[in-house]
Structure 1
Amino acid sequence: MSSSRRLRLFIVRDEDVERILNMKLRDLVSEVGEPLVVDEDMPVDIFIDSMRRSGKDCAVVLGRDNKVRGIITLFDLLKILELREHRHIPFYRLAALPLKGIKGRKIMVGDIMTRHPIILESENTVRDAIDLMIKLKISHVIVMEGDRVVGVISKRHILSKIFGLE
């Protein structure tokens, strides 16, 4: 068996897991990097381009008052595919079309975002985030310090930190 085909054993020690679970979200956010933050009035086609360039899989959505209005994830982008009457149109053009019930304008981030996102303070722990993710069946939590968005933590970030999973 070639070395590239060998199984890699990943050993997780209890004390390492406990240390990560007790880690402050502020510390995990510093490893994850700056969140993508967008305006709720941004057209989805422009958002997709921003997402692609940033390498992020979600964004925090702000209203005109600069307060958090929602979060938009890859799951929310699936809502665009509900444009059943436009099946003959290539996927890359769907985002520029009007959504059902929205006449005469493009789909905006605010049209498909998840409203009332779960927000935790940077002082909360990874354990707090996991508890909420499981209880509420969500994949992302927004992390704030006061009124300032400092990051977004996903189940992928947590699993990567604990198990080395991507």
Structure 2
Amino acid sequence: MAYSIRICRIFGIDVKAHVSLALILLLLTYVFYVNKPPFGFSDLQNPMRLIYSVAMAVSIFLAVLIHELSHSLVAKRFGAKVREIVLFIFGGVASIEEMPKEPKKEFAIAIAGPLASLILSLFLFTPFRFLRLFGYFNLILAVFNLIPAFPMDGGRVLRSLLTKKYGYIKATRISAGVGKFLAIIMGVLGLFYNIWLTLIAFFIYIGAVEEERAVTLEGLLANYKVRDVMTPNPICVPSDATVRDVVSLMLKRKHLGYPVVKDGKLVGIVTLKDVMNAKEDDAVEDVMSRNVVVVSPETSVYEALRIMGEKKIGRLPVVEGNRVIGIISRSDIIKLAEILEIFEGVKKFESKRE
């Protein structure tokens, strides 16, 4: 997530704070500072009043971190890679690559967060005022995340329960539909009672749409390899070419990025961004990007799309035996998905007619 700062590393997982976290921490501190007991500390004298207010605001996000860490550790146990945990204005999100699709594994990962929050809340309902309030917020976190709507844990729990009967894609569509319906209800209620509820509803609705779209896309592309979609024998630029040569090539071919080769082997990639501020006589090897992300012709198309999204790049060289045999772009994949989606719609229409 952009505009995030790494704050620590736990169990090999980077924990980052988004800039929006500062805003919500200030807001929460103010809420605890002015509210009366049991949900605030306005009855205390400064500096304890301020100290408790700040500590409680930070503690809420500590609870979120424990919640997301629980998801992450269970996911790692099942072999998934966890890139990072980001804390932001709406809570936290664990970036888990290749989330297991087996119902039992998805259920275990999804339920781990609410279960950890629930256990914390039970242990923290003590006579000590600060801990009791912390326990109360952990209980809210557990219950709220069990709402059956993406991107909440409850949406994934619901999908895991439906997958055995309906299959992964249909189960996702059903769960997303439930989530969108609940989001609309929450959004309308928020307009009358609390605008914050409307903002959360918007977040839930977008999450449901994105999850449904991602799974549908994965389903459409499941049987396709990079070999099926790539542009074979792409134009490559020799490493001793000049920036002038690259600009001329871009103007002629209308492509904004080219693999750079030396002795027939891939050594980099040069894009419009690389040559924009370079001198015309500069050698390509002096301005190109050397950290090239590549895929093999047998890589799945959906995996290639995921890599592009993660690395924020628009194209990937296809390499076999250190030699460039093709190139695949995000637009190539999106066009394929659009065509497949149209054909799928036609098939459904024809089956209904029959």
TM category (shorter chain) comes to 0.5 to 0.7
Contact between 2:268 and 2:291, CA under 8 Å: does it hold in 1?
Answer: yes
In the alignment, which of 241, 250, 256 is matched to residue 57 of structure 1? Answer: 256
Distance in 2 between the 1:125 and 1:110 partners? Answer: 30
Q: What is the number of residues matched between the two proteins?
A: 126
The alignment status of 1:74 with 2:74, answered yes or no, reads no
Please report how far the alpha carbon of residue 158 of structure 1 lies from its aligned counterpart in structure 2 after TM superposition. Answer: 1.6
Query: Equivalent residue for 1:45?
Result: 244
Q: Structure 2 unaligned runs (5+)?
A: 1-212, 340-354
Please report how far the alpha carbon of residue 74 of structure 1 lies from its aligned counterpart in structure 2 after TM superposition. Answer: 2.1
Contact between 2:266 and 2:323, CA under 8 Å: does it hold in 1?
Answer: no
Alignment of 1:12-51 (within 5 A): 18-29=219-230, 32-51=231-250
Q: Deviations over 1:13-48 (max 9, x none)?
A: x8786243441101101xx34311011110111122
Query: Normalising to structure 1: TM-score of the pair?
Result: 0.65
Please report how far the alpha carbon of residue 77 of structure 1 lies from its aligned counterpart in structure 2 after TM superposition. Answer: 2.6
Moved over 4 A (4+): 14-17
Distance in 2 between the 1:134 and 1:21 partners? Answer: 17
Distance in 2 between the 1:155 and 1:79 partners? Answer: 25
Please report how far the alpha carbon of residue 79 of structure 1 lies from its aligned counterpart in structure 2 after TM superposition. Answer: 3.5
Distance in 1 between the 2:274 and 2:309 partners? Answer: 19
Q: 1:139 to 1:15 in 2, by over 3 A?
A: closer
Contact between 1:36 and 1:58, CA under 8 Å: does it hold in 2?
Answer: no
Q: 1:69 to 1:16 in 2, by over 3 A?
A: closer
Q: 1:162 to 1:156 in 2, by over 3 A?
A: same
Query: Equivalent residue for 1:137?
Result: 312
Query: Equivalent residue for 1:148?
Result: 323
Distance in 1 between the 2:323 and 2:303 partners? Answer: 19
Indicate the larger mover: 107-116 or 71-80: 71-80
Question: Which amino acid counterpart does residue 67 of structure 1 have in structure 2?
Answer: K
Percent identical pairs in the alignment equals 29
Query: Equivalent residue for 2:300?
Result: 125
Q: 1:110 to 1:18 in 2, by over 3 A?
A: same
In the alignment, which of 135, 158, 161 is matched to residue 333 of structure 2? Answer: 158
Q: Deviations over 1:94-141 (max 9, x none)?
A: x42xxxxxxxxx212112211121111100011111121122222221
Question: Which amino acid counterpart does residue 224 of structure 2 have in structure 1?
Answer: M
What SS class does the counterpart of residue 61 from structure 1 fall into? strand
Q: Structure 1 unaligned runs (5+)?
A: 1-11, 81-94, 97-105
Query: Normalising to structure 2: TM-score of the pair?
Result: 0.32
Q: 1:129 to 1:146 in 2, by over 3 A?
A: same
Contact between 2:233 and 2:324, CA under 8 Å: does it hold in 1?
Answer: no
Q: What is the RMSD computed on CA atoms of the aligned residues?
A: 2.4
Distance in 2 between the 1:159 and 1:75 partners? Answer: 23
The alignment status of 1:112 with 2:287, answered yes or no, reads yes
